[in-house]
Amino acid sequence: MADKVVSEIKAAGGDAVANYDSVATREGADGLIWSALNKFGKLDVVVNNAGILRDKTLLNMGEQDFRPGDRCPPAGHFLVTQAAGRMFKVQAKGGRIVNTTSLSGLLGNFGQGNYAAAKGGIYSLTRTPRWSSSGWA
C-alpha cells in the first residue's frame, strides 16, 4: 500500500518515499524519521495516522484483543512524536506534528472499547504540551 501511495504522489508531481518499519517500536519510529531525512534532508512535519481496529464487545474481548491497540496507538504516536521532536530540536527550526484520532476516542462506540481507549490516549497526548518557551522539551 505504501508503494501505491508513493506512486500516486509522484504521478501528481510530488516526491515521496515509503517506509516499512513498525511505528509500534522505537527502532521503527526512528527508522521512519531517518527515511524522511535521507530522502529530503530535513523534517518539517509528521502525520501520525496508525491504528488497529479489532471490534468485539467487552465481554467477548480477550486480553490479546485489547493489547494490539495499546501497542500501536497511542504508543506508536508517542514514539514517532518523540523521534520527530528530537529532530526538530536538533534542526532548531521547529516543525509540526499532526495526530489523527477518532470520535470513538472521545465518545466511545459499541464494540470498540480497545479502539476507543487507544484513540482517547492519542487525544490526551496531543493536548499535552511537548515544548516549553525555549523549544522542544
pLDDT in tens, 41-51: 999 999 998 87
> CA 34, CA 67: separation in Å to the nearest integer?
28
Report residue 115's pLDDT band, with 50, 70 and 90 as the boundaries.
confident
Residue 107 sits in a domain of what CATH number? 3.40.50.720
Report residue 137's pLDDT band, with 50, 70 and 90 as the boundaries.
low
> CA 31, CA 14: separation in Å to the nearest integer?
22
**pTM recorded for the entire structure:** 0.83
Catalytic residues: 115
Inform me whether the pLDDT recorded for 132 exceeds 70: no
CA dihedral 35, 98, 135, 85 (to 10 degrees): -30
- Residue 78 domain boundaries: 2-136
Please tell me the total count of domains within the chain: 1
Mention every residue, 6+ apart, whose C-beta is less than 8 A from residue 44.
Answer: 95, 96
Inform me whether the pLDDT recorded for 40 exceeds 60: yes
Inform me whether the pLDDT recorded for 126 exceeds 60: yes
pLDDT in tens, 54-91: 788 888 888 877 765 555 668 889 999 999 999 999 99
